[in-house]
Amino acid sequence: MTINSNENKTAMQEILLLQRSDNFCSLGNIFLHSPVMIRRRTFSLQRLLFFVPLLILMEQPAASQEHHSSVSSTWLILQTIPSLTWISLPAQINFALEWEATPVLYSFGMNRLDPRWHFMKVTQPERFAGSMEFNISAQLYTSKIGSSHWGFSGQIVTHLPLIERGEYLGLHLGAARYTIAGLSSTYLLGGVSTLFGFLHYTIKYSPVEIIWMHSVEFRFF
Amino acid sequence: MISGCNPLITRFIAKSFEDIPRDAETVATKIEHPILPHVGLSILWVGHATCLIQIGDKVFLTDPMFGNTAGLISKRRIEPGIAPSSIDKLDFILISHIHFDHLHYGSLEMLSKTAVMLMPPGSREYTPEFGFSDYRELHPWEIFESGGVRITAVPVNHFNGRYGFDASWSESDTFTGYVLEYQGKTVFFAGDTGYDSEKFKEIGKRFTIDAALIPIAPIEPRDFMRRFHTDPQEALQVFEDAHAKTMIPIHHRTFVQGLDSSLTYAQDQLKHLVSEQHLEGRVLILNVGEQKILIP
């Protein structure tokens, strides 16, 4: 964590004081005690991350929508299996179970028979061979963060294939909004995935709150 | 991935790790120009299920696999019989199913973009764009015709999915065999299949097959593999059911497969059976990289 303003210094001093005391045990405490988490301001880089890929999407030719397999009951049941996440928060490492859903994904790396737009059901190649998606997730942390075990997030992520169309190595860039312990903050995120998209390492950075998070995820969705 | 909990898979992975330090066997003489100027029917075994088939002026490549590993786990034990760059003319790519050792992205990237890629239903969701001239999914018994070539997708027995967990939600069978017909010559490519008497007898009734490319491995553990993979004895039964004139065994000697005790385990069994049943002239066991002209 770095400090770049007087206001943040004050907040950071507060966190450091909390860290020295027994009260500090989680990111939730930071959220609850730090004034930097309350402040809201427009960040132009975030806007860029949201709107530039959208403009790129609008330039793409329409894809065939003639066929796409529908959501089956087996698929639905398997979606209840959570992904496993180890997340390094500023004050602790937490293990979490995570359930994700992809309301919409635009795939730009697949063959011309495959539709470009996908809703909810997405195969690994449709995601990792090149795509941009909006996904939402709920995290159940094994340790309490603030007053809750639960966290929620929404992300817009671009997946770019690096090796074997993303199956061996993929790069992910995007922005996320996390709500933990009832407080929200926006993060820029970047990461890599391997093992056919199942294993991820992601760094998340909140430019407003100056918070770094690292996570290793065994992602199943 | 869920199937990773299975003790059989664990034993297979352990067996694959033993191979990591081993170098792949080299192919002594690689054919530099495998496309022949004048030929009736020729078949070159590249390794595994990859065969370069030439009928007259048309060139077909089955399940292109030139990679060093299948699915990051199973290491290639003998290098490909030809370089992909030597295939300077390619009309059709035939994909039997979407498993890592049959739908290999890195290999498809290396191939001529003039080809039409044919694949079983459900494959489009697993196939990135490689720039080929066309992509088609064929359902069982569906026919694709182009430039006098007639390709029929034929039913076989295998299993769905690419990553394990996705096998259970496929809505149709994402595996197939193909029968190729051109200029009066017919080739049956069985892909990867278990034995099913009815299906292969039906194929035998519908076509007069000059050459059948039939998998012979993995064999062990038989109780598990039987449903999805023909062993040498069953492969010979497929050959008989389909009434083919010549059989070329495929899907062996290239990768560690199942729990077979050696790389030549299936080939050795087939040799023994061929000798026992006096099929020497009809069953041609090719070396990796060997090209056979069946009809000049």
Whether the CB-CB separation of A160 and A130 falls below 8 Å is answered with: yes
Q: What is the pLDDT of residue A70?
A: 62
| Residue A22 reports pLDDT greater than 50 | no
| B171 neighbourhood in chain A, CB within 8 Å | 69-70, 72
| B163 neighbourhood in chain A, CB within 8 Å | 124, 196, 198
Q: What is the pLDDT of residue B167?
A: 84
Residue B86: which pLDDT band, with cuts at 50, 70 and 90?
Answer: very high
| Residue A1 reports pLDDT greater than 70 | no
Q: What is the pLDDT of residues A72-98, one digit of tens each?
A: 788 888 888 899 999 887 777 889 999
Give the amino acid at A188: L
Nearest-CA distance from A193 to chain B in Å?
14
Q: Cβ–Cβ of A220/B128 closer than 8 Å? A: no
In a domain, B1, yes or no: no
Span of A16-30, A106-120, A130-144, B176-190 with lowest mean pLDDT? A16-30
| Residue B273 reports pLDDT greater than 60 | yes
In a domain, B57, yes or no: yes
Q: Cβ–Cβ of B129/A111 closer than 8 Å? A: yes
Q: Which domain holds residue B211?
A: 6-295
* Torsion sign across C-alpha atoms A129, A132, A136, A138: positive
Q: Which residue has the tokens 């060139």?
A: B59
| Residues B283, B275: Cα–Cα separation, whole Å | 10
| Residue B152 reports pLDDT greater than 70 | yes
Indicate the average pLDDT of chain A: 74
pLDDT more than 70, % of chain B: 94
| Residue B101 reports pLDDT greater than 90 | yes
Whether the CB-CB separation of B97 and B175 falls below 8 Å is answered with: yes
Q: Going by C-beta distance under 8 Å and a sequence separation of 6 or more, which residues neighbour residue B227?
A: B157, B159, B194
Residues 160-189 on A with a CB inside 8 Å of B are: 161, 164-165, 167-168
Q: What is the pLDDT of residues B277-294, one digit of tens each?
A: 999 999 999 999 999 999
Q: What is the pLDDT of residue A41?
A: 38
Q: Is B13 on the interface with A (CB under 8 A)?
A: no
ipTM of this complex? 0.89
Q: Cβ–Cβ of B126/A75 closer than 8 Å? A: no
Span of A57-66, A145-154, A191-200, B272-281 with lowest mean pLDDT? A57-66
| A130 neighbourhood in chain B, CB within 8 Å | 128
In a domain, B215, yes or no: yes
CATH of the domain at B159: 3.60.15.10
Candidates A66, A123, A131: best to mutate against B (most CBs of B within 10 A) is: A123
Q: Is B5 on the interface with A (CB under 8 A)?
A: no
Q: Which residue has the tokens 């389909």?
A: B242
Residue among B47, B52, B98 at smallest CA distance from B77: B47
Search chain B and give the residue with CA nearest A130: B128
Q: Going by C-beta distance under 8 Å and a sequence separation of 6 or more, which residues neighbour residue A78?
A: B165, B168, B169
Q: What is the pLDDT of residue A221?
A: 62
Indicate the average pLDDT of chain B: 93
| Residue B169 reports pLDDT greater than 90 | no
Q: What is the pLDDT of residue B15?
A: 67
Strands B116-119 and B92-94: parallel
Q: Cβ–Cβ of A165/B169 closer than 8 Å? A: no
Residue B7: which pLDDT band, with cuts at 50, 70 and 90?
Answer: low
| Residue B272 reports pLDDT greater than 80 | yes
- What CA dihedral angle connects B16, B17, B21 and B26, to 10 degrees? 10
Residue B16: which pLDDT band, with cuts at 50, 70 and 90?
Answer: low
- A19 or A111: which leads in pLDDT: A111
Q: What is the pLDDT of residues A185-217, one digit of tens each?
A: 999 999 999 999 999 999 999 998 888 889 999
Q: Cβ–Cβ of A109/B72 closer than 8 Å? A: no
| Residue B237 reports pLDDT greater than 80 | yes
Looking at the 3D structure of chain B, how many domains does it have? 1
Alpha helix segments (H runs only) across B90-215:
105-109, 197-206
| Residue B128 reports pLDDT greater than 50 | yes
Q: What is the mean pLDDT of residues A216-221?
A: 82
Span of A34-38, A187-191, B112-116, B231-235 with lowest mean pLDDT? A34-38
Residue among B70, B58, B63, B57 at smallest CA distance from B45: B63
- A38 or B114: which leads in pLDDT: B114
Taking the CB of residue B262, how many other CB atoms lie within 10 A of it? 9
| Residue A6 reports pLDDT greater than 60 | no
| B126 neighbourhood in chain A, CB within 8 Å | 123, 125
Q: What is the mean pLDDT of residues B162-173?
A: 83
| Residue A71 reports pLDDT greater than 80 | no
User: From the list A67, A75, A195, which residue is nearest B169 (CB)?
Assistant: A75
In a domain, B93, yes or no: yes
Q: What is the mean pLDDT of residues A54-69?
A: 40
| Residue B36 reports pLDDT greater than 60 | yes
